[in-house]
Structure 1
Amino acid sequence: MQEQTITTVKTDLDNQIQQKIDLKTKPLGALGTLEQIAFKVCQIQETLSPQLKQPSILVCAGDHGITHEKISPFPQEVTFQMVMNFLGGGAAINVFCRQHNINLLVADTGVNYDFEPSEQLLDLKVRKGTRNFAVEPAMTMEECQTAMNNGAAIIEKLHQAGTNIVGFGEMGIGNTTAATALLCKYADYSPYEASGAGTGLDSQGIQHKASVIEKALNLHAKISDPKEILACFGGYEIATICGAILKAAELKMVILSDGFIATSALIAAHAINPNVTDYCLFAHESNEQGHKLMLEHLKAEPILHLGLRLGEGTGSAIAFPIVQSAVNFMNEMSSFEDAGVSNV
C-alpha cells in the first residue's frame, strides 16, 4: 500500500512538471532537449522550482598496473604531470570550470608519485597505482571499498556545503583499458568491439589492447559480484567516482555524467544500485569507441555530441550551462496566462 502511494505521488508530480513546461509561452516541445532536462531536474529535486547550487566537479587521478602490458603510447609519468597541470590551472577542465563558475576539486586516489602536501590537492591515495589485472586483480576488495568510501565522504562534504549538482572527471594513463574491461564484464561486450584509441593508439595498438583485455576477462571469468568486478578490473579513480556517484544519488543530487572513464564508474554504480541513473544527466557522447555502447547499456540520451574524448570532466563542464538554461526557463519564462498570450 505504501509503495502504491509513493507511485501515485510521483505520477502527480510528473504531471505537474509536464503541465508547467507545456504552459510556457512556446509551442509544445519547442525547447526540445531543454524540456527533457528541466523535467529530469524537477524530478530529482521533487519540485516545480528547481535550483542548481554550487556546481562542483571532482577530478580523480590514479595509475594503472595494466600499463605494463604496453596498452598506452604515453608513459605513466603523464598522470602526475597532468595532476600538476590541474593544480596549476592550465588544463582544459580548469578553463571550462572558470568559465562557468564551477567549483573544481582534484584528488590523488592512487597516483604513482609522492605529491607535496597541498590545499589544492585532496589526498585520497589508497596505493601507488593498481596491480596489473592481466595477471591478478587490480585492487583488493578492501582497497576498492576504501576508495569508494573516500568518494562518498567527499560528496557528503560537498552536499553539506550546499552543492546539489556534481560532475566527475578523471586522469590516469591506462584507464581506458580498465574502463573497457569493466564495460565488457558488466555489459557482456567483446573487447574487440569495445576497445578504442584511448590516448592515441593506432589500429594495431587497439587490437593489442583488446587482446590484453580478452586475456584478463578469461583469467577472471568466474568473478560476477559487481564490487568484485570493480576491484578486479577498475582503478582507484574509478572506484572513488563509483562511491561518489552512489552517495550523490542517495542524497538526491543531480549527477552530470561525463565521458568514457567516468561512465565506467557509473556502470559499476548502476550494477550495485540500478536506481542511480534516476539522478543522472548525460553530458555528452564521447568519441571513444566504447562510450556509445555504455550509453546504450544505460539507455541514456546524451546532451551533446562534440566529438570529445579528453576526459577530465570536460564534457560535464561544457554541458552545465545548458542544464542551467533548462532550469532558468522553468523558473523565469512566462506562462501563457502570465503573459496574457492566447494558448490555442
Structure 2
Amino acid sequence: MQSTAPLMPPDALTHAAALARQQQLTKPPGSLGRLEALACWLAACQQRAQPEPLRPAISIFAADHGIAAEGVSAYPASVTAAMVHNFAQGGAAINVLARQHQARLEVVDVGVNADLQGLVGIVQDKVAPGSANLLHQPALTRDQRDAAWATGERAAERHIAQGANLLIAGEMGIANTTAAACLICALSGLAPEQVVGRGTGLDDAGLLHKQTVVTRALQRAQTHRPATALDWLAQLGGLEIAAIAGFLACAARQGVPVVLDGFIVSAAALVCEAQQAGSRHWWLASHQSQETGHAMVLQQLGLTPLLDWQLRLGEGSGAALVLPLLQAAIALHNQMATFAEAGIPT
C-alpha cells in the first residue's frame, strides 16, 4: 500500500522489434491502424516480439454502498446481492462474454450486504457488509480500505498464478457511480456537474439530486483534510473500488496488462496511478462510457479508448468486448507474411 518508485513501462526494445516486424508485413505501413499499435504494445508487455495469444481472466468485485440510502440510484440496494446470484448462475452479460471469449471469470464478494456463504462459485473475501454513507461519514475505515485493496491484489495474483497474461476488472454495486464520481472530482479537480451521470438511468430530477449529494459529500470529506489518494479513497470510495485499485496495482507491478472497463474502474485507476505512478502504462482503455465525465478521466490517465458504443453497464463488459480485437491484432502480427516471405518486391 505504500507509494513506490514509478513503474517502468512495457519493454521499449521489444516494442521496437515488434514495430520493425510490422513494417515488413505485406501491407502498407499503418494500414491496419490501431491494430498495429495494439500488437506492438502487447508484444512489449510480454517481452516477445511476436506475442503469445491472450489468456484473459476477469474478476468482478461486488459490494454495497451506504450512499444508496440517499436515493442516488434508479434501483434498490438489494439488486447488488441479486446480481451476484445472477453471476453465480451464469446469466449476466459478463458471463456470456467470458464464455464467448474463453476468459476465466471469478466473482468476489468483497462487501455485499447479504450472506452469500452458500453461493457456489463466489469467492468469499468480504471485508464488511458494505460501505458507510459517505454523505455523513467516511465510507471506509483505513483498515477496511487496506483490506479491500489486499483482496484485489489476491485476485490478480490468483489469475497470474494460473497463467493469465491479460486481466480485466469489473464491478457490481448499486450506487457505486456516486462513489466513483466523488473520487473522480476529488482527484481530478473536476466539478460534479462535469462528472456526475445518470448511472443506472436516473431522470433529470434524480440527476440533479445526485449532483447535490456528490457536492455535499465532497464538502464533508474536505473537513477531514485528506492529503493522499488513499485518504480520499477511505472518505469517498467503496470496497469494490478499493479492491479494483489493488487489482490494478498488483497487475502493473507484475508486468501483466489490464484492459480497463468503464467509469467505476477508471475511478479506481485514478487512485492506483496516484498511489503507484506508472501503472497506467500497463493499461488499455476499452471504451468511453456513456457516463458523464468518463472521457475526461481517460484524458487525465493519458488513455485513448478503443470503442465508443454508448455503454454504461459495468461488470467488465466493455473490456471483455474488445478481447477479439486484441486477439486479432496478435494473430495478424504473427501470421501475416513478410514481403520477403511472400516474394513481393518493395
TM band (smaller chain): over 0.9
Partners of 1:52 and 1:165 within 8 A in 2: no
Amino acid at match of 1:316: A
For 1:99 and 1:126, locate their aligned partners in 2 and report how far apart those are by CA, in whole Å: 32
Paired position in structure 2 for 1:150: 151
Paired position in structure 2 for 1:338: 341
Amino acid at match of 1:129: G
Partners of 2:55 and 2:163 within 8 A in 1: yes
Amino acid at match of 1:178: A
The answer to whether structure 1 residue 173 and structure 2 residue 174 are counterparts is yes
Partners of 2:11 and 2:45 within 8 A in 1: no
Partners of 2:68 and 2:174 within 8 A in 1: yes
User: Which residue of the other structure, out of 255, 258, 269, is the alignment partner of 1:255?
Assistant: 258
In structure 1, stretches of 5+ residues that fail to align are: 1-5
For 1:207 and 1:39, locate their aligned partners in 2 and report how far apart those are by CA, in whole Å: 44
Partners of 1:44 and 1:278 within 8 A in 2: no
Paired position in structure 2 for 1:3: none
For 1:339 and 1:152, locate their aligned partners in 2 and report how far apart those are by CA, in whole Å: 46
The answer to whether structure 1 residue 163 and structure 2 residue 164 are counterparts is yes
SS class of match (2:73): coil
SS class of match (1:26): coil
The answer to whether structure 1 residue 227 and structure 2 residue 230 are counterparts is yes
Partners of 2:18 and 2:50 within 8 A in 1: no
Paired position in structure 2 for 1:276: 279
Residue 232 of structure 1 deviates from its aligned partner by 1.2
Partners of 1:37 and 1:281 within 8 A in 2: no
Residues 240 and 11 (structure 1), Cα distance of their counterparts in 2 relative to 1, 3 Å cut: closer
Root-mean-square deviation (CA), in Å?
Answer: 1.5
Amino acid at match of 1:236: L
Q: Percent identity?
A: 37
Paired position in structure 2 for 1:57: 58
For 2:333 and 2:22, locate their aligned partners in 1 and report how far apart those are by CA, in whole Å: 7
Partners of 2:62 and 2:172 within 8 A in 1: yes
Question: Alpha-carbon deviations, 1:222-241, whole Å to 9, x = none?
Answer: 21211111111111111111
Residue 23 of structure 1 deviates from its aligned partner by 1.2
Question: Alpha-carbon deviations, 1:18-65, whole Å to 9, x = none?
Answer: 111121111010000101111211121222021244311101110001
**Paired residue total:** 337
SS class of match (1:281): strand
For 2:89 and 2:233, locate their aligned partners in 1 and report how far apart those are by CA, in whole Å: 31
The answer to whether structure 1 residue 135 and structure 2 residue 156 are counterparts is no
SS class of match (1:307): coil
SS class of match (2:322): helix
SS class of match (1:146): helix
For 2:146 and 2:136, locate their aligned partners in 1 and report how far apart those are by CA, in whole Å: 21
Paired position in structure 2 for 1:304: 307
SS class of match (1:106): strand
For 1:317 and 1:13, locate their aligned partners in 2 and report how far apart those are by CA, in whole Å: 26
Query: Which range is displaced more, 12-21 or 231-240?
Result: 12-21
Question: Alpha-carbon deviations, 1:56-115, whole Å to 9, x = none?
Answer: 110111000111211112110000001111111111111111111111110111011011
Partners of 2:15 and 2:41 within 8 A in 1: no
Question: Alpha-carbon deviations, 1:253-294, whole Å to 9, x = none?
Answer: 110100111111111111111211111111111111121111
Paired position in structure 2 for 1:96: 97
Residues 43 and 10 (structure 1), Cα distance of their counterparts in 2 relative to 1, 3 Å cut: closer
Paired position in structure 2 for 1:321: 324
Paired position in structure 2 for 1:198: 199
Q: How does 1:61-140 map to 2 (within 5 A)?
A: 61-140=62-141
Amino acid at match of 2:344: V
Q: What TM-score do you get using the length of structure 2 for normalisation?
A: 0.94
Residue 117 of structure 1 deviates from its aligned partner by 2.6
Residues 153 and 10 (structure 1), Cα distance of their counterparts in 2 relative to 1, 3 Å cut: closer
Residue 11 of structure 1 deviates from its aligned partner by 4.5
Question: Segments of 4+ in structure 1 off by > 6 A?
Answer: none
Q: What TM-score do you get using the length of structure 1 for normalisation?
A: 0.95
For 1:84 and 1:293, locate their aligned partners in 2 and report how far apart those are by CA, in whole Å: 34
Residues 11 and 72 (structure 1), Cα distance of their counterparts in 2 relative to 1, 3 Å cut: closer
In structure 2, stretches of 5+ residues that fail to align are: 1-7
For 1:53 and 1:257, locate their aligned partners in 2 and report how far apart those are by CA, in whole Å: 16
Paired position in structure 2 for 1:265: 268
Query: Which range is displaced more, 119-128 or 10-19?
Result: 10-19
